[in-house]
Chains A and B, each alone.
Chain A
Amino acid sequence: MGAGDALIHARGLVKTFGTLRAVDGIDFDVQKGEAFGFLGPNGAGKSSTMRMIGCVSPVTAGSLSILGLDPAHDGPRIRARLGVVPQLDTLDNELTVRENVIIYGRYFGLSRRELRGRADELLEFVQLSERANDPVEPLSGGMKRRLTIARSLVNEPEVLLLDEPTTGLDPQARHAVWDRLFRLKQQGVTLVLTTHYMDEAEQLCDRLVIMDRGKIAEEGSPLELIRRLSSREVVELRFTGEAPAIQSDAFDGHVSRVEVLPDRILLYTEDGDALVPVAHERLRPQSVLVRRSTLEDVFLRLTGRTLVD
């Protein structure tokens, strides 16, 4: 698909802060209706990229078009059609839950009459109707994040940008947020999100790019990336004391790759269960775990580092 069809189109996109090249020449396209992710560790340049897409940070070099428009000239027009869930909440703690939605809607020039109904709908959608008239300050992190999502939808955006939407939330809150985002996906809203959680990327994204140190390392759907860049399963071994040196070819071809991490050793294989007794016998590990490959393993393969330090 060419630039003409893509909702967001970037070629050679660069962002520098002084001598720091936060985004170092990246290309990507986001199609209408898809959930697109930027997966990478902290400092990869994901937030800088999101801020450029959100037309709040000027592009240093390269081309970027959103909804067919140029952010350098049409920033306000583009922002009118975007929804933004920033990494750090921008709620007003002194106003009520409902007031936060309404005042945000007013920034878009929506009428008060329209906003009254809309605020109720949105609070219903994020399941905060009961707290509508409470001040924001005492709400939990998960509720504040859901309120931010409600706000971000007030202008019925064509594209929703989410920067690390579940960072800092407990597991229950994370699942609540994912549930709402999944609903939005079903309604046809284009989602663009950044995350350093591989489970989030796997659950939500139709397609993603793996970003590290300002560059894009790989691109594809979660399944495709795992299939292409990792084995089907992984056997994790932990040892008391010194771990033995392991050669991947010591397992009759069953192990395609070995990764040595500070706290465990990973054996990449197509059939983990078959490998377990062999590993037990030859290596005498303290504990053995068999699991599916994840995007974390893909990232490890590409960069030699884990997503979360």
Chain B
Amino acid sequence: MEARAEPLVPGTGQLRFPLRAYEYWIASYRRVWRGSVVSSLLNPVLYLTALGVGLGKLVNKGSHPLGVSYVSYVAPGMLAAVAMQVAAFESSWPVMAAIRWTRQYQAMLATPLRVRDVMAGHMLYVATRVAGASAIYLAVLAAFGTLHSALAALVLPLSVLIGLAFSAPIAAIAAWAPKDNVLSSLFRFGIMPLFLFSGTFFPLTRLPVALRYLAYGTPLWHGVDLARQLTLGTATLGMSVVHVAFLLAFAGIGVALALRSYTRTLVR
């Protein structure tokens, strides 16, 4: 079998190594995909109904203080938040499990795959999950009449970028964390507050200045703001570049930290 004697030709087709690790996660997902598709569909329908149609009726009373109906305001925020949540869930416990309990990373590293291939393979899978959940969410958004611009199509690649911006630093933490209560704290004190206070449900101008600027420094607000500008058709090139640059920086630094964290834990 010549394939085994020559697995590495530096520079050409390097993506095939992460893809080998990626296949494992897809094979694993095949067993449970049905359930996650159903919840990916129910989640937006329930939230948009409760918040948009239900709560929205109260918010929209009188004039439209937000400039649009509440459901159109909250929907893109929710989509960005879901990208964060899926990425965070998939990059936390599964990463820790792959190191400490199921040892799937160790299985991969005993083969020609390197740490960067193992890490990239898992992140590709997280990106796939985010893309899938976001595509379904976007379809529901369309069904609820909350997409007011052709630019809304760009929300799909944007959600993958949001996902990556969270996946990488969280995977870095999960690879390092000695116990899983670190991850619980991450969700309780990090993900949850971000979800509530990043402009998802109400404009940041409602928050005191200090908290507002804190939110501006987090990737979710950038994702939420850009997603909203795309679905409402109010995006400008300048702000879009700022938002994308911020997300890319977060993702890039996250990837560097994750690679360091993975290497320190797995190559000892």
Contact = CB atoms under 8 A, between A and B. Distances in A.
B27 A114 contact: no
Given A107-B20, A107-B21, A155 B4 contact: yes
Given A108-B7, A114-B1, A76 B268 contact: no
A252 to B, nearest CB: 56
Contact of B3 (A57, A89, A91, A109): A109
A109 B114 CA distance: 13
Nearest to B21: A107
B8 A86 contact: no
A90 B107 contact: yes
B43 interface: no
Given A58-B267, A88-B103, A109 B16 contact: yes
Contacts of A93: 102
Interface residues of B, number: 28
Contacts of B104: 90, 92
Contact of B108 (A77, A86, A107): A107
A76 B107 contact: no
Given A56-B110, A94-B31, A103-B24, A17 B268 contact: yes
A178 B112 CA distance: 27
B218 interface: no
A95 interface: yes
Contacts of A111: 3
Contact of A80 (B20, B21, B24, B112): B112
A104 interface: yes
A58 B110 CA distance: 13
B55 to A, nearest CB: 40
Contact of A54 (B7, B8, B16, B110): B110
* Most-contacted residue by chain A among B7, B111, B113 (CB, 10 A): B111
Contacts of B114: 75-76
Contact of B109 (A17, A56, A94, A156): A56
A103 B103 contact: no
A81 interface: yes
B265 to A, nearest CB: 12
B110 A86 contact: yes
B38 interface: no
A246 interface: no
Contacts of B103: 86, 88-90
A81 B4 contact: yes
- Number of contact residues on A: which range applies? 20 to 34
B28 interface: yes
B106 interface: yes
Given A54-B110, A84-B110, A109 B102 contact: no
A88 B109 CA distance: 14
Given A57-B268, A90-B104, A104-B107, A156 B28 contact: no
A88 B3 CA distance: 28
Contacts of B107: 90-91, 104, 107
Given A56-B267, A94-B31, A109 B21 contact: no
Interface string B104-140: 1011111111100000000000000000000000000
B214 interface: no
Contacts of B5: 80-81
Interface in B63-112: 102-104, 106-112
A77 B112 contact: yes
A110 B3 contact: yes
Contacts of B112: 76-77, 79-80, 107-109
B183 to A, nearest CB: 21
A151 B254 CA distance: 34
B258 to A, nearest CB: 19
B137 to A, nearest CB: 27
A56 B118 CA distance: 13
A76 B8 contact: yes
A106 interface: yes
B23 interface: yes
Contacts of A106: 20, 23-24
B10 to A, nearest CB: 10
Closest 3 CB pairs of A and B: A90-B107, A107-B111, A76-B112
Interface of B: 1, 3-5, 7-8, 16, 20-21, 23-24, 27-28, 31, 102-104, 106-114, 267-268
6 contacts: A56-B106, A57-B267, A79-B111, A84-B110, A88-B103, A156-B4
Interface of A: 17, 54, 56-58, 75-77, 79-82, 84, 86, 88-95, 99, 103-104, 106-111, 114, 155-156
Given A104-B107, A108-B7, 14 more contacts: A76-B113, A79-B110, A82-B110, A90-B102, A90-B104, A92-B28, A95-B27, A95-B28, A95-B31, A103-B27, A107-B20, A110-B4, A114-B1, A114-B3
